[in-house]
A and B are shown apart, each in its own frame.
Chain A
């Protein structure tokens, strides 16, 4: 079965890509790996007149450390990110989350910029990037800007991108010194599925084992990926006792705002937020994740 026909533009500079996207005739869509967009075209959910491919724009797939922060070009694929030594050594939480995206074949093509711009609630990388206080770099007709990832997900499948804007990179600051992190993905059907619920967490303990930093990111728990701010507050200053962990898990379940779909009901999702936040925090405390 063929795709609905479109013209394919392959600009060789970011400026040309922005211009091609911004032209007012018909509907243009940006394509990176195509793992989401081509499936949507196939299903008839979108019928663009033209696709603007980012494959020939130089320097968009770099993976580098700049001023202590990890910089991932928007076209860096999940496969490249999960294998990059610099990511595995310096940002293991992100490497763990990225290697859980779908299947090896999807990770070969799918890109970090595409994953974020798609703004799906059940993203694997997003909860990790939320914990790491990442920043999304964007270029458009009005110039360049940086958006804190906490403000990047505006609504259900809606990113904070203006018409003609393109995600160019993600900057990921280092995790707090001494912090331990982990990502757990719970799927209700099979390993390669989207997360029914995904939980990322970073905790740092002081000398008396009290929590000086606690960050919890959730996927699949609301219309967008989210930070569990109330759960984080419940942990700060506390030792990670069973009672404190339970209180944080209850708080996360309360602040979650899940949807029902074929993978599971909203009630089930909320319960799984409670279960998996608790299990991840216990594993981080005990060093068993």
Chain B
């Protein structure tokens, strides 16, 4: 199946098996390993990427369904060699422990801040409730997101 879409700001034309999900395509078709496989059922949130600015679960969305849409993965957060403010805040505050949940959490937070530049702590926690961190590091994660919101 032929497929064209925008990936991290660049046009991407590729071919994919019909039963592949967006996650299969990113990791195994395109070699972008930043997006992680967690539960495979849409529950853990680590495969979260953005489609047209909104978060999706890459493990649940069929590759065919992002045709003509604009995808952003963790590899696309950096622009012209500069880290995204979220990446800087996560690094500075130690908001990543093992790091497996981090790409999904940063993209979920990116979508939240895109729509609501000044969220409350409650809104941050509610938005990230579907992103599980098994190092149980939520405090620093929430602080990092709020720090970016506060610095704008």
Interface residues of B (CB under 8 A from A): 1, 17-21, 24, 37, 40-42, 45, 48, 51, 54-57, 59-62, 64-65, 108, 111-112, 125-127, 129-130
A106 to B45, CA, bound (A): 10
Task: Name the CB-closest residue of A to B37.
Answer: A1
Please, which residues of chain A bring their CB within 8 A of the CB of B1?
8
Q: Is the CB of A108 within 8 A of B51?
A: yes
> 17 other contacts beyond A35-B60, A104-B55, A108-B55, with CB at 8 A cut-off?
A1-B40, A4-B19, A6-B19, A8-B18, A8-B64, A10-B64, A34-B65, A39-B40, A39-B41, A43-B41, A103-B55, A104-B112, A104-B130, A105-B56, A105-B57, A105-B108, A109-B56
Q: How far is the CA of A55 from the CA of B111 in the complex (A)?
A: 23
Inter-chain contact B54/A8, CB cutoff 8 Å:
no
Question: Is B130's CB under 8 angstroms from A106's CB?
Answer: yes
Instruction: Given A34-B60, A53-B64, A103-B130, check contact A7 B18 (CB 8 Å).
Output: yes
- With a cutoff of 8 Å between Cβ atoms, the chain B residues found around residue A102 in the complex are 130
Q: Which of B37, B40, B56 has the most CB of A within 10 A?
A: B56
- Asked if A8 contacts B56 (CB within 8 A), the reply is no
8 contacts between A and B (CB under 8 A): A6-B18, A38-B61, A53-B64, A103-B45, A103-B130, A104-B130, A109-B57, A109-B65
> What is the interface of chain A mostly: helix, strand, loop, or mixed?
loop
Chain A interface residue bracket vs B: 20 to 34
Least CB distance from A75 to B in Å reads 11
CB distance from B141 to the nearest CB of A (A): 15
| Proximity string of chain A (79-111) to chain B, C-beta cutoff 8 Å, 1 when within and 0 when not | 100000000000000000000001111101100
The 9 closest A-B pairs by CB, nearest first: A103-B130, A8-B18, A105-B55, A191-B129, A192-B130, A108-B54, A39-B41, A192-B129, A38-B60
A106-B42, A191-B129 in contact; A38/B64 too (CB < 8 A)? no
Interface residues of A in 14-56 (CB under 8 A from B): 31, 33-35, 38-39, 42-43, 51, 53, 55
